[in-house]
Amino acid sequence: VPSFLQASACEALGTSTSDSREKYRRRRNITLDVLAEMALPTVRPEGAFYAFPRISEFGLSSEEFCLRAIEEAGVALVPGVFFGAEGFARISYAVSEETLQGLARLHGFVGRLRTL
């Protein structure tokens, strides 16, 4: 380890991350609960700060789905195609719980897609 990083590494090893881990766990659970309500299949993330629900049922490319989500619901997602996973969208929960309220808008958007 470079000498200029050694003191930082020692400090990091002595710092508790339990508060941060709990916040991310809570945000992950909120996100997964809402995605389950939307009936969007999602693998439970174990170490990431994003969910990756399957959106292929809508017959849209992941890029088109995400563009429409931002235009129609004001929710920013990342198309799965950028990760080699067409038919999926990436949703970050590395945001405040207040910002996660945008999932309600995504829920409405998904509902409108299903009624078309």
Closest CA to 65 of 79, 85, 50: 79
Is pTM beyond 0.85 here?
Answer: yes
Tokens of 87: 């038919």
Render pLDDT for 21-62 as a digit per residue (tens, 0 to 9).
999 999 999 999 999 999 999 999 988 999 999 999 999 999
Question: How far, CA to CA in Å, does 19 sit from each of 46, 77, 95, 98?
Answer: 17, 26, 15, 18
Render pLDDT for 81-102 as a digit per residue (tens, 0 to 9).
999 999 999 999 999 999 999 9
Residue 72 has pLDDT above 80, yes or no: yes
Q: Count Cα neighbours of 100 within 13 Å in the Cβ-side half-sphere.
A: 21
CA distance 88 to 41: 10
Q: What is the pLDDT of residue 30?
A: 97
Q: Which helix (H) or strand (E) holds 73?
A: helix 62-73
Q: What is the pLDDT of residue 4?
A: 85
